[in-house]
Amino acid sequence: MFRSISKQHALITGGSRGIGATIADTLAKNGIRVTILSQNENLLKSRVQELNEKYPINEERKHDYIAYNLTTSNKIEESIREKYWNQFKDVNILVNCAGKTQKNLLMSTASNEINDIISVNLTSPIVLSKLFIKNAIRMKDITHPFILINIASIVAKSDKHNDLIGASIYTTSKAALVRFTESIRKELEYMGKRKSGGVAEQMSQTGIHVLLPGFVADTAIGESVKVGEGYSIPETSREEIAEDVLTIVKEANHV
């Protein structure tokens, strides 16, 4: 049914640096319009300018950005609808990539820091996923697949080799993100059966994904975490994660 991944639109949270920036670069290089979301507007402007120079599309479909602090997850829906709907309304690929971790044991972690980690890693992806799915379901003509990709972490899996000392909230939030992804896939499968197919069925079959990358050293989170003595968390590069995202998009489009 679908063949080309060009003329599609991806929103990538945490897209101004690290893993998100590499994903944005990879998708843009393959003809996909990208909108990146993070809180540093100056960095966003610089990254978007670079993307438009390296991977131009056309004057009407330029790469863009949304400046938003995901720690204020209670206002995401309102902000998207009131300020950024033009950047969001035709998004058919959502990559929840923004992440935040702590650097201390739980006993030394401030309550506001715990709230910020949960907001960025879990609540924000949930709210953005809700908006994305709700908007997708309203589409009557499916001219391209709708794809949701949540970037979790291998530490979400219970294994003695995956333990991170001083990152208990991060680990918990990523484990919850995995279960959330699995749950919404089932919801969409249920909706697809009730409504005889459509976007819900397509998303339940090819559109809901969670990635569990290993330790990525050259990121802000990678530089801050402390791997426990005697543990050996597998390493993953930013490029490998970006290629996994691209593969998901291609497979959903039957490319």
* Three-class SS of the chain: CCCCCCCCEEEEECCCCHHHHHHHHHHHHCCCEEEEEECCHHHHHHHHHHHHHHCCCCCCCCCEEEECCCCCHHHHHHHHHHHCHHHHCCCCEEEECCCCCCCCCHHHCCHHHHHHHHHHHHHHHHHHHHHHHHHHHCCCCCCCCCEEEEECCHHHCCCHHHCEECCHHHHHHHHHHHHHHHHHHHHHHHHHHHCCCHHHHHHHHHHEEEECCCECCCCHHHHHCEECCCCCCCECCHHHHHHHHHHHHHHHCCC
pTM of this prediction?
Answer: 0.92
pLDDT of residue 1: 63
Give tens-digit pLDDT for 68-98: 999 999 999 999 999 999 999 999 999 999 9
Instruction: Give Rg (Cα) of the chain.
Output: 18
Q: How many CB atoms lie within 10 A of CB 226?
A: 12
Q: Does the pLDDT of residue 221 top 70, yes or no? A: no
Q: Does the pLDDT of residue 217 top 70, yes or no? A: no
Q: Does the pLDDT of residue 21 top 70, yes or no? A: yes
C-alpha to C-alpha distance for 63 and 88, rounded to whole angstroms: 12
pLDDT of residue 183: 98
- Domain 9-252: give its CATH code: 3.40.50.720
The residue-averaged pLDDT of 167-195 equals 93
Q: Does the pLDDT of residue 180 top 50, yes or no? A: yes
Q: Which two structure tokens, joined as six digits, stand for 108?
A: 């030394």
Give tens-digit pLDDT for 93-107: 999 999 998 888 888
Domain map (residue ranges) of the chain? 9-252
The residue-averaged pLDDT of 65-69 equals 97
pLDDT of residue 141: 65
Q: Which two structure tokens, joined as six digits, stand for 50?
A: 């670079």
Give tens-digit pLDDT for 118-161: 999 999 999 999 999 999 998 766 789 999 999 999 888 876 55
Positive/negative CA dihedral, 197, 203, 206, 212: negative
Q: Which two structure tokens, joined as six digits, stand for 74?
A: 């209670």
